[in-house]
Amino acid sequence: MENLPFIVHLIRPATGGMQNHVLELVGGLSKKGYPVAVITPPNEMLELRLKLIDVASYQVPISDRLSPTDLINIIRLARLLKRLRPDILHIHGNKTALVGGIAAFLAGVPATVVTVHSYLMYQNAKGLKKAVASFIDRRLAGRASKIITVSDSLKRSLVDSERFESSKISVIHNGIDLDRWRNQPATRSIPTRPNLKVIIAGDGPLFDELSKSIRDRRLEANIWLLGHVADTRPLLALSDIFCLPSKNEPFGLVLLEAMAAGLPVVAANSGGVPEIIEDGLSGVLAPPGDVAALSGAIESLADDEGKRRQLAAAGLAGVKTRFTLGRVVERTETIYREVLINRHSA
């Protein structure tokens, strides 16, 4: 039997797409016999979800932003890695790569893989801040055995804007476990347009502003602002159309979830989204920030059940062929084998 490497995953505070990606990836690796573990900031819900799939977890309080405590956490993390002795440290996120890369070097971890899930937080910065941050990231990228991006758009950003070495970056689109999205009880029915209901799931800096706008326009009966939702499956089962209006979306894992749940999707044509959706065939794309185009697409689909069914069927077929969890696990395994072979050769 093949002696599989021990893989430890390191993540920052995360909800939504990144957390779900890591959970499904380590679960898929574990099913294939890989010894895996996850190091995470304290998070009771994540720890419980890892326990349910029989994956060990350890806690190191890594923050989202640069902090004086980072030095302490680098030492804590290095000590933990020395004790665990992984063959590969798989780091998720840009800030985590800073702390994890240094700790892995101090602990003598043989190989590191970094998955970049989003555009760099300082991509619009200027001057000294931009120069220093870019320099640090390039040095860390030089130490990483391999970099994974979740979209071609992200890879182009790293190569063109940050001058990362293209050959060191592999693109692995996110994927989902289709079994989780099958047989969802659906009670979908779009009424006449004056009674159309909009459910907004998610949290962020615009939550209070959006909530006030809904109240000011007296739209509480038609627009439900839910905040963070841990499991979107019941919401998708109740819906007829899914919309992702993000102006700069690195990939869009939630699009895969909506398509797997059998929904037609409308999305802003930004970032990695057009790598998922073919406009007019598997969904509808609108220019980022174009409210009229986005709302027009939703209204058009609301009035056309045949088009909704056509887009939903094509979207589901696309997920089944291109964006499955099995494909993500297999491609990630290939990266692991490659970095270990290169390490032994060196």
Q: What is the pLDDT of residues 300-318, one digit of tens each?
A: 999 898 999 999 999 999 9
Instruction: Tell me: pLDDT of 187 over 70.
Output: no
Amino acid 231: pLDDT: 82
CB 225 within 8 A of CB 207: yes
Percent of the chain with pLDDT over 90: 47
Domains annotated for the chain, with CATH where assigned, are: 7-175+324-345 (3.40.50.2000), 179-322 (3.40.50.2000)
How confident is the prediction for the chain on average, in pLDDT?
86
DSSP H or E run through 111? strand 111-116
The residue type at 40: T
* CA gap 185, 168 in Å, rounded: 44
| DSSP 3-state of 221 | coil
Tokens of 140: 């860390």
Q: Which residue has the tokens 């980072």?
A: 70
Helix locations, 112-151, DSSP H: 127-143
Instruction: Tell me: pLDDT of 129 over 70.
Output: no
Cα angle at 234 between 17 and 192, to 5 degrees?
110
DSSP class of residue 324?
B
* CA gap 229, 16 in Å, rounded: 9
